[in-house]
Structure 1
């Protein structure tokens, strides 16, 4: 009982929690990215232009973040690096597309951003490809 209540990131339950976080949020975000891949031609004409980039390029970068980076996070490979494009994409979505409305129409972007920010700080846990490949 003492071990269960102690604070340590090395507990198996902590790594299991990080695994659940990765599967849930990366899996859900991949669905958004996949939808954008499937409807790329229709969406690329009407997508927002961010920082002077064309709508098609902005959409391509969002697909990279939502689908491919989420795939890396899901399996726990290059997790911290893969979180960065997602955090940037969710920040842009929240501030540009959703006008900073964190509790209304920008709530999903806020939740995804916070989840991936958490994974950036914690890493993927020991149930990940990162842990398997980069044992100390």
Structure 2
């Protein structure tokens, strides 16, 4: 109980791992639609109605980057690159498709932008493939 109430926390590396895994899993979940042709046709129709250029390509590109960034973030592999593509994709959803209402309708995708920025600046942590492959140069905290 003392550790729960302490200002030191429960461990930065463990906390970072849990949050990174959750962010990656959510991105994988949202990006998994790239493998569902029916849903992708629906996205293409929706993007066509919004007069988006190349709606089929943009739909697959968007869902593909969600899936890829989710996979990489979950593994902690090329994490900063994955965070960049996630932040760009979620920013397009927030400000390009949406109207930038980050306290209302676009709150969900904007939170992914914020989380991407966290892992971009902090790094994936010790429990990541980046740390295993590239050593301490990618170590967070």
Partner of 1:17: 15
- Could you tell me the TM-score, scaled by structure 1's length? 0.83
C-alpha displacement at 1:37, in angstroms?
Answer: 3.3
Unmatched runs of 5 consecutive residues or more in structure 1 = 7-11
- Could you tell me the TM-score, scaled by structure 2's length? 0.80
SS at match of 1:121: helix
2: CA distance, partners of 1:62 / 1:44: 11
Paired residues for 1:51-90 under 5 Å:
53-90=53-90
Partner of 2:120: 120
1: CA distance, partners of 2:28 / 2:101: 23
Structure number with greater CO (CA < 8 Å, separation at least 6) is: 1
Partner of 1:34: 32
2: CA distance, partners of 1:49 / 1:61: 16
SS at match of 1:135: helix
Partner of 1:102: 102
C-alpha displacement at 1:41, in angstroms?
Answer: 2.5
C-alpha displacement at 1:46, in angstroms?
Answer: 2.4
1: CA distance, partners of 2:22 / 2:11: 16
Q: Contact 1:37–1:63 at 8 Å: present in 2 too? A: no
Unmatched runs of 5 consecutive residues or more in structure 2 = 137-141
- Between 27-36 and 123-132, the greater mean CA deviation after superposition: 27-36
Structure 1 residues 31, 17: CA separation in 2 closer, same or farther (over 3 Å shift)? Answer: same
Q: Deviations over 1:5-54 (max 9, x none)?
A: 67xxxxx921212111111112112111113431113322322565xx40
Q: Deviations over 1:75-95 (max 9, x none)?
A: 100000111111001111111
C-alpha displacement at 1:63, in angstroms?
Answer: 1.4
How many corresponding residue pairs?
A: 128
Q: Contact 2:65–2:89 at 8 Å: present in 1 too? A: yes
